[in-house]
Structure 1
Amino acid sequence: MELCITSLNSGSNGNCYYVGNEQDAVLIDAGISCRETEKRMARLGLSMKRLRAIFVSHEHADHIRGIATLAKKYQLPVYITPDTLRSGRIVLNQAYFVPLQAHEPVQIGALTVTAFRKLHDACDPHSFVVSCNETRVGVFTDIGAPCEQLIHHFQQCHAAILEANYDEAMLDGGPYPYYLKNRIRGGKGHLSNRQALALFTAYKPAFMSHLLLGHLSKDNNCPRLVQELFSKHAEGTEVVVASRYAETPVYRICAGSMSAVPAAPMAYQTSLFG
């Protein structure tokens, strides 16, 4: 069974990723408002009624901003670690809180969501792999460096949303204060273009049909630069740079398929490279 994916927004102003099949869907993070989530899904032909859960990677505001309202309005369970819930000060009805545990697969209809720890300057940060039968999609952003677990899961994905946060020369020559530059590149901050490209070229499986590059810095990166850099090494993988201002098209991902054609809008019913 295929999976459909889209980035509803990707950047320091908000992160929200949709993964689903014809019956069920989940959001990985909800860092834009409930209203904006609804608007962007509607433009793509995606029904809010198909959402079954929200999975939270960590407590930074650009990943949690819309959670409380979405959960309450649509009665969605929120899979989040207790430390992340506490650190993020999310006002969440206890009925919607489901403790998240690394390496414990969560079944959402025919979807299986598995979390694993990542390197980031948050209290208990996780990345996610969403699978349906043999099709696997990874959501790998806010990563200071590629760890062995990330490499392991990346090699198994038919599609991935991968961080390419900054260009090293732009960060070095840019206006950020020295402490912030060190935080970004310090091993628990964000993944540079070079680090992301090294992961992609060394460990991309031959069956990876789509790579969505996300969480680009507004000040320290350039979408055109990222697109050109990765497209040179794509070898049949469709490379998409996710926007910090708008949703991407919906992409259909299927094990055994190398199709790179965006899905038509669906009408739904009622530390290695440091």
Structure 2
Amino acid sequence: MQLSITSLNSGSNGNCYYIANEREAVLVDAGISCRETEKRMKRLGLSMSKVKAIFVSHEHSDHIRGIPVLARKYKLPVYITSGTLHNARLDFTGVQVLHFQAHEPIQVGKLSVIAFPKLHDARDPHSFVVTGNNVKIGVFTDIGYPCDQLIEHFQQCHAVFLEANYDEGMLEKGHYPYYLKNRIRGGKGHLSNRQALSLFTGYKPSFMSHVLLSHLSKDNNCPNLVKELFTLHADGTEVVVASRFEETPVFTISSSPSKVVASIGKQTSLFDTVME
């Protein structure tokens, strides 16, 4: 009983997350070009023909800029709230646009997708949990603060894409103007490494096999720093940093606590997961 996941890109230059069962897949956001999405999926041995829908978290360009071309080319329905659609200001001509409501599951084949509101400086921002084969995957990025709903869903996930956007010291000492620093750390911006780690250590279920640290700032974070920080507290969870330049491996997430498979294309390696 498994789901497959990968980050095709994660960062302010574009975000796109892939979750699939044996027959169908969904994308959460599509902030890289159609061509780049195709190229990265091909390198991983994935087919766009398996993708059945795109779910949109909010209207910022790094999450939506690739949607119109991708959706038209592959005839994909786009699930988006009316507020996000209004603020997106993209040409969705020829695209099947479907609205979703928070807390109401949407069925895509045998995948179930549920959205819930998050704290971010957008019109109507949402996080997502994708469920299939008794496995739950959370997509939790672009979050100003870990609210009670996030904590509740986090505790149920077998794997998560979790924002760790900035190191507080690097942001404070960095070159960003004061207003932008306050926007990032102001409660409706992004999660710091410390905030993400507190969520992880405080509420991680024993069966969480992978955390994919996502949406790292180019200027205010360091992949090695945050990976080392989380690895010290991982307790058997595989810690992966999702790149802003390339795709991650495809990770096969199981509801069984014993073993998890990760693969890139035709190459496969096996991780023995030590559980609490």
TM-score (norm 1): 0.95
Deviations 1:77-107 (A, max 9, x none): 0000011011011211365100011111000
Q: Amino acid of the residue matched to residue 92 of structure 1?
A: F
2: CA distance, partners of 1:169 / 1:196 = 15
2: CA distance, partners of 1:266 / 1:19 = 18
Q: How many residue pairs end up in the alignment?
A: 267
User: Is 1:96 the equivalent of 2:96?
Assistant: yes
1: CA distance, partners of 2:160 / 2:38 = 23
2:254 aligned residue: 254
2: CA distance, partners of 1:3 / 1:265 = 16
Q: Amino acid of the residue matched to residue 193 of structure 2?
A: N
Deviations 1:9-39 (A, max 9, x none): 0000000000001100000000000000000
2:198 aligned residue: 198
Inter-CA distance 202–32: structure 2 relative to 1 (3 Å threshold): same
1: CA distance, partners of 2:77 / 2:108 = 11
Deviations 1:103-145 (A, max 9, x none): 1100011100000000000000000000003100000000000
1:222 aligned residue: 222
User: Is 1:75 the equivalent of 2:50?
Assistant: no
Deviations 1:214-270 (A, max 9, x none): 000000000000010000000000000000000000000111234343135369xxx
2: CA distance, partners of 1:196 / 1:121 = 18
Inter-CA distance 173–247: structure 2 relative to 1 (3 Å threshold): same
Q: Amino acid of the residue matched to residue 72 of structure 1?
A: R
Deviations 1:51-101 (A, max 9, x none): 000000000000001000011000000000011011011211365100011
1:168 aligned residue: 168
1: CA distance, partners of 2:97 / 2:167 = 37
User: Is 1:56 the equivalent of 2:56?
Assistant: yes
Deviates more, 1:216-225 or 1:257-266: 257-266
Whether the 8 Å CA contact 1:237–1:258 is kept in 2: the answer is no
| Identity rate, percent | 69
2:17 aligned residue: 17
Q: Amino acid of the residue matched to residue 262 of structure 1?
A: A
Q: What residue ranges of structure 2 are gaps of 5+ in the alignment?
A: 268-276
1: CA distance, partners of 2:264 / 2:220 = 33
User: Is 1:234 the equivalent of 2:234?
Assistant: yes
2:273 aligned residue: none
User: Is 1:265 the equivalent of 2:234?
Assistant: no
Whether the 8 Å CA contact 1:46–1:266 is kept in 2: the answer is no
1:39 aligned residue: 39
Whether the 8 Å CA contact 1:137–1:158 is kept in 2: the answer is yes
User: Is 1:112 the equivalent of 2:132?
Assistant: no
Q: Secondary structure at the match of 1:261?
A: strand
2: CA distance, partners of 1:127 / 1:266 = 31
Whether the 8 Å CA contact 1:238–1:260 is kept in 2: the answer is no
Whether the 8 Å CA contact 1:54–1:77 is kept in 2: the answer is yes
Q: Amino acid of the residue matched to residue 177 of structure 1?
A: P
2: CA distance, partners of 1:32 / 1:168 = 27
2:122 aligned residue: 122
Q: Amino acid of the residue matched to residue 238 of structure 2?
A: E
2: CA distance, partners of 1:79 / 1:102 = 12
